[in-house]
Amino acid sequence: MQSARSCLAIILAAGEGTRMKSARPKVLHEVAGRSLLGHALAAVEAAGASAVCVVVSPERPEVGAEALTRYPAATLAFQTERLGTAHAVLAAREALQAGYDDVIVAFADTPLVRPETFRALRDELAAGAAVAVLAFAAKDPTGYGRLVLSDSQLESIVEHKDATPEQRRIVLCNAGLMALSGAQALPILESIGDDNAQREFYLPDAVKVARSRGLKATHTRAPEDEVMGVNDRLQLAAAEARFQARKRDEVMAQGATLIAPETVFFSHDTAIGRDVVIEPHCVFGPGVKVADGAVIHAFSHLEGAEVGPGASVGPYGRLRPGARLAQGAKVGNFVEIKAAEIGAGTKISHLTYIGDASIGAGANIGAGTITCNYDGFNKAKTVIGAGAFVGSNSSLVAPVSIGEGAYVGSGSVITEDVAADALAVGRARQVEKPGWASRFRAAAAALKARRAKA
């Protein structure tokens, strides 16, 4: 039913957010590696919005820039004076005039609203409502707009500051999000006045206006923690915690094992396959994909990385952007990988840095191997062929290549390419001096004794 209906989403992002005490605009603070605004954009997109207009303040150009980065098809509307939520929606007049079946209004500082919640509001429009409001039962309703019902019909919404003592006892509150019939939205919004305690144009007055015109106004409900807004750093942390709990449940529901879910932190876009095991205390930055059957051992940190089927990382593994592990590859403890392809079954088990490299299948990279990829100005590449064996504590000075099946002697500094199946040793030859240690000890003891006497 909805897919046939066109939908304009208007996201209000012109707020001040002073309680964040931040140089950064509030809606650019992040939950799970994505801005609050980015979350709102993702939700309305998933709810089927065919066009998105973000209402911003001309004083904060960063907000519009983020909107366009996250959602290039979005348009921006500018609210120059903050005269209330209905006034903010009217800033998007041009978009409204283009004519849509549904209009949904979202707040940029409310990051946890699920797409299905927006879709439920749109269902109300499809069923004939002119205005559909999202409501929640507040533990503490102070400050919120209250839904005034009569015979379970929505009559109006009264802002806390305008409410009578009796109305203030109502716990059913306005979450702020709303859906309006596209045909009615402009005439309704234009009839909203500012005759109230705050001399503001209140969006929730759309209910009153609709009712006065004999149009239908309805509400749907969401859990309180889904509609929580972020105004300060404590609420930001609470939103993060809620998001993480939800994401962990989702990852487990899709067939991954989290041994101690409360210790694992995901990004908004982390993709985890089936039968993946994630041990305690792992952190996933943005852009990580883990394929089926992989194991992420404890205390690992991954960002911008792909872990292939059955591969393993850690404990204490670090995958940085561009790390790509093929099937069954193993990256062990205290190993850092950046911008490198690691071939199937290749083992890099201990204490190693691999950056700007490509390693074929079935190679073995010994403990303490370092790709020296940076000369202070430029990065250079290391290529290691399939089946190669790099002895422990070797430095590979890029650009350099190690041929397929070649060996590098432990402790080598490799500055020139090594041919396939060759052995390269780049270190001083070992010398042995028989009896040297006992002669040294005798001479040193005698020197110490002479100095003690003097």
136 binds ligand UD1 (CB under 6 A): no
- Residue closer to ligand UD1 (CB basis): 178 or 424: 178
Residue 407 CA, distance from chain mean position: 42
Q: Which stretch binds ligand UD1 (CB under 6 A): 35-43, 81-89, 211-219, 333-341?
A: 81-89
Which residues contact residue 424 at a Cβ distance below 8 angstroms, ignoring those fewer than 6 apart? Answer: 402, 406, 407, 408, 409, 412, 414, 418
121 binds ligand UD1 (CB under 6 A): no
12 binds ligand UD1 (CB under 6 A): yes
CA-CA distance, 453 to 447, in Å (whole number)? 10
173 binds ligand UD1 (CB under 6 A): yes
176 binds ligand UD1 (CB under 6 A): yes
Of the candidate residues 174, 267, 364, 394, the single one contacting ligand UD1 (CB under 6 A)? 174
Rounded to 5 degrees, what are φ and ψ at 144?
-85, 160
Query: Whose structure tokens read 């397929």?
Result: 404
87 binds ligand UD1 (CB under 6 A): yes
53 binds ligand UD1 (CB under 6 A): no
Report 356-395 residues binding ligand UD1 (CB under 6 A): none
Q: What is the DSSP letter of 445?
A: H
Give SS3 for 152: coil
The residues carrying an active-site annotation are: 350
Of the candidate residues 25, 66, 79, 365, the single one contacting ligand UD1 (CB under 6 A)? 79
- Residue closer to ligand UD1 (CB basis): 118 or 202: 202
55 binds ligand UD1 (CB under 6 A): yes
Q: Which stretch binds ligand UD1 (CB under 6 A): 69-77, 103-111, 404-412, 438-446?
A: 103-111
154 binds ligand UD1 (CB under 6 A): no
DSSP string, 58-110: TT-HHHHHHHHHH-TT-EEEE-SS---HHHHHHTTHHHHHT--SEEEEEETT-
Residue 129 Cβ vs ligand UD1, minimum distance, rounded to whole Å: 18
Query: Whose structure tokens read 């006892």?
Result: 169
- Residue closer to ligand UD1 (CB basis): 83 or 215: 83
Of the candidate residues 25, 48, 64, 84, the single one contacting ligand UD1 (CB under 6 A)? 84
What own/partner pairs with CB < 8 Å and gap ≥ 24 does 165-173 have? Answer: 168/141, 170/141, 170/146, 171/137, 171/138, 171/141, 172/135, 172/136, 172/137, 172/138, 172/146, 172/147, 173/135, 173/136, 173/137, 173/138, 173/141, 173/144, 173/145, 173/146, 173/147
The binding site for ligand UD1 (CB under 6 A) comprises: 12, 14-15, 55, 79, 82-85, 87-88, 107-109, 144-145, 157, 159, 173-176, 202-204, 229
